């Protein structure tokens, strides 16, 4: 059991990659704090973990709200005594808008959920990690954070920011026993498309040729396996970097 006696917080863990990560972490011995804006679905994930012999709690959290992040980490520590692994998975798509079509409120919402939440939860977890000279942060970035045409301008910029934040954090705290890495998934079978409401025809038209080059769509469990590697001691020499998991899509 690669995460025996560890305590992990996973955001956006009621479905998709977050749920797969939570389930796998619990299977590998971690006590898991399942966080999501959909409380009922988060509770369902917890029940599934418990049915398989694991230990988990559900915490309602809108990661765009600072007070929810504060409560999330505080609840994890209050319940389990500490925190060992933070997985910043919660995220939303944009509607493939190019720069000329971005509305301020849409830009701000994408950044609040995809980027600012990563900073805030990391900031909240760091005193715990620094206190014991040990801790792991895993940020879910995107192939869109490595290339320029996997989404609209807002999502692309938000995920590039996550990549930069990951590298900076990994380096800054490398001598404090803390590691920070990111995963850049390609297309994965999740419900993130539900956050898209009005696809921009120009933006989608420009992206369409590249989408056709995607070798295949991934499974949430395949991303969870990478997240397990990064959370475990198997990756103890891996820090401040991004692992791309996209079947070779960005290799073209």
Residues with catalytic function: 155
- From the list 179, 174, 9, the residue with the least C-alpha distance to 78 is 9
- CA torsion through residues 252, 228, 133, 57, sign: positive
On whether the CB atoms of residues 104 and 28 are closer than 8 A, the answer is no
The count of other CB atoms within 10 Å of the CB of residue 31 is: 22
- The CA–CA distances, whole Å, from 36 to 62, 67, 171 equal 7, 14, 29
- From the list 71, 79, 39, the residue with the least C-alpha distance to 58 is 39
At residue 147, φ and ψ (nearest 5 deg) are -120, 175
- In terms of DSSP bridges, do strands 31-36 and 135-140 run parallel, antiparallel, or are they unpaired? unpaired
Distance CA 68, CA 84 (A): 19
On whether the CB atoms of residues 90 and 12 are closer than 8 A, the answer is yes
On whether the CB atoms of residues 118 and 182 are closer than 8 A, the answer is no
């Amino acid at each position: 059991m690669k995460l025996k006696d560890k305590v992990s917080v996973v955001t956006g863990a009621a479905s998709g990659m977050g749920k797969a990560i939570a389930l796998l972490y619990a299977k590998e011995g971690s006590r898991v704090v399942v966080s999501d804006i959909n409380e009922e679905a988060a509770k369902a994930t917890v029940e599934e973990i418990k049915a398989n012999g694991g230990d988990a709690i559900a915490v309602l959290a809108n990661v765009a709200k600072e007070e929810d992040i504060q409560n999330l980490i505080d609840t994890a520590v209050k319940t389990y005594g500490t925190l060992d692994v933070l997985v910043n998975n919660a995220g939303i798509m944009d509607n493939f808008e190019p720069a000329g079509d971005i509305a301020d409120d849409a830009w701000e919402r994408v950044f609040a959920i995809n980027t600012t939440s990563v900073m805030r939860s990391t900031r909240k977890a760091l005193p715990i990690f620094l206190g014991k000279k040990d801790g792991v942060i895993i940020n879910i970035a995107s192939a869109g954070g490595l290339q320029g045409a996997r989404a609209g301008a807002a999502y692309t910029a938000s995920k590039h920011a996550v990549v930069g934040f990951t590298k900076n954090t990994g380096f800054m705290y490398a001598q404090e026993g803390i590691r920070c890495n990111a995963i850049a998934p390609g297309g994965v079978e999740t419900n993130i498309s539900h956050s898209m409401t009005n696809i921009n025809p120009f933006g989608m038209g420009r992206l369409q040729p590249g989408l056709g080059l995607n070798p295949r769509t991934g499974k949430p469990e395949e991303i969870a396996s990478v997240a397990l590697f990064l959370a475990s001691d198997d990756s103890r020499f891996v820090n401040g970097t991004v692992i791309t998991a996209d079947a070779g899509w960005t290799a073209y």
